[in-house]
Structure 1
Amino acid sequence: MGALGGGDDVVCVSGHIDLSRGSGELPRRALPDEALRAAGALESEGRPVRDPARQQKTVAQGAATSVWCATSPQLDRSDGVYCENCDISPLVTAESEAEWRAAPGVPGVLPYAVAPEAAARLWEVSERLTA
């Protein structure tokens, strides 16, 4: 996608949005407590569940990958990658997809999420919507 944006000065990456919730960390209107309890993200007493292996993190932990993407020299020439847990996610192959889906918390990205054709469509739509 960076190549579509003008060449060497534009690098595009995407990252996993972690579920981050806690007292004062996110507005209560972000998600209803019932939905968070159903997802296993909120204890019955109302305390947030912290389980980084299941992508349930503090706000700081959840923001870490975005900050890493913005500042890491590792991404200087890594256009079109997907990042999670402060690293570039490995590509999940068709042969390993079932095993990957059965292991929550294992980093990885499916091919459609980093497909150049999808990036081109996203760029086109983004240009139309922001022009």
Structure 2
Amino acid sequence: MSTATEVLEAARCECCGFTEECTPAYIAAVRAEYLGHWVCGLCAEAVGDEVRRAGAGVTTAEALDRQRAFARAAPRAPGRAAEDLVAAVSRLLRRCLDSPPASPAQGRKVAAAGTAQDA
């Protein structure tokens, strides 16, 4: 379980360029599994699928190269909309997990107070 004092670092996927915030221990574990390369969860799944699909005919290094080439050839969406969305959801989840749960009655009081202030 993660604590509020745990340090997070930005890690950029070497295949698709997606950036995630992760603990140093997790970054090290991913790098150990993927020959020193950082890959995001989606690219890691694609690399694993490629190795499983091809069987003994493809090494992890070859699967990484294939995924890198595929990700670079894929059309890019304009801007950083996907990364911004993921970052916003991450912040929201952290806030929710770090704050004590509110009862339904408290939630209604807060909402009502906000409505009264807006008027």
Query: TM-score under structure 2 normalisation?
Result: 0.29
More helix by share: 2
Q: Which structure is larger by alpha-carbon Rg, 1 or 2?
A: 2
